[in-house]
Structure 1
Amino acid sequence: MHVLPKIVLRSRGPIIASDAIVCNAKKEILLTKRNIEPFRGKWVLPGGHVKYGETIENALQREVEEETGYKVMIEKLHGVYSNPKRDPRYHIICICFICKIVSGDAKINFEVGEIKFFSLKSLPRKMGFDHRKIIQDFINNKGKQR
């Protein structure tokens, strides 16, 4: 039997992540206040890195539940964000989905200090990553939908 050598892959390529735009019945958007760096103390969309062997959709649902306590259903793709400077640690390509809550109750964990729904007209001033741009794109696209 032929045994392949063990290979350790060290890629300098981008990391894949997913973020969720989650709206409630009042059309408010769900944000979490980060307890960890980068952007500690700033508001962000729920989301995170995709694990090896995991689909982007499963990663998104897992991350939203871990960070907020809510189980979500993905409704549609919102957009792809790939600016190499969107995260100060490394180059992350983020695939963002529009989701709705199907069950669960808000609960925080070590990454998240606060969970809150914001109206689109009263978003927090201090936001992390490029999440203000992602939300602005969402607002702009809503006006184009019929």
Structure 2
Amino acid sequence: MALPKTPALTTDCVVFDVETRVLLIRRGHDPYAGCYALPGGFVEIGETVENACRRELQEETGLEVGALRLVGVYSDPHRDPRGHTVSVAFATVLPQAIAPRSGSDAASAEWVEDWHKLRLAFDHGQILEDAETLLKPRRRD
């Protein structure tokens, strides 16, 4: 009996600075070439999703991060036009904005103040909303 085909596994990394700007890349390749997206990519065999997130972030933006907080798992079979892809999203907040430098398959990388008005690749708008909610300080009344 043949094993069923499994979805691809990716990570997406949400990086905020203390001014609540988010680090976005412009995709260098299809799908969504030229669109804003979160840094991220495919998990390699033998790699944890956390380390894949850190590696992809470093490859695409030149930034290195330590602690990551799980935002969620995104598994809609139609989230990626290339095929069923499951993504594990993580978030972190940097104490200061470090100038990114694009690399790997990112055409550019930049800090964006108002991402709410942008058309983002894949389901990255939803991931950003979830990360923003997760990291928002909770009031204690």
TM tier, smaller:
0.7 to 0.9
Q: CA RMSD in A?
A: 2.4
Residue 59 of structure 1 deviates from its aligned partner by: 0.6
Contact 1:30 1:116 in 2 (8 A): yes
Give the AA of the match of 1:93: V
Which 5+ residue runs of structure 2 have no aligned equivalent?
none
Question: Where in structure 2 are the equivalents of 1:1-146 lying within 5 Å?
Answer: 12-101=5-94, 105-119=99-113, 121-143=114-136, 145-146=138-139
Q: Give TM-score, length-normalised by structure 1.
A: 0.82
What is the aligned residue count? 137
SS of residue paired to 2:60: helix
Higher strand share: 1
- The ranges of structure 1 where at least 4 consecutive aligned residues each deviate by more than 4 angstroms after the TM superposition are 101-105
- What CA deviation, in whole Å up to 9, does each residue of 1:85-141 have, x standing for no partner? 11000111111011244897521125111211122x444522100001111222334
Q: Would the aligned equivalents of 2:41 and 2:53 in 1 still touch at CA under 8 Å?
A: yes
CA distance in 1, matches of 2:117, 2:107: 15
CA distance, structure 2, for counterparts of residue 106 and residue 79 of structure 1: 25
Shift of 1:67: 0.2
- Aligned to 2:15, the other structure's residue is in SS state strand
Q: Which structure has the greater CA radius of gyration?
A: 1
Mapped contact 1:19–1:94 kept (Cα < 8 A): yes
Q: Distance in 2 between matches of 1:80 and 1:144?
A: 22
Would the aligned equivalents of 2:58 and 2:64 in 1 still touch at CA under 8 Å? Answer: yes
Provide the identity percentage.
32
Q: Which runs of 5+ in 1 are unaligned?
A: 1-8
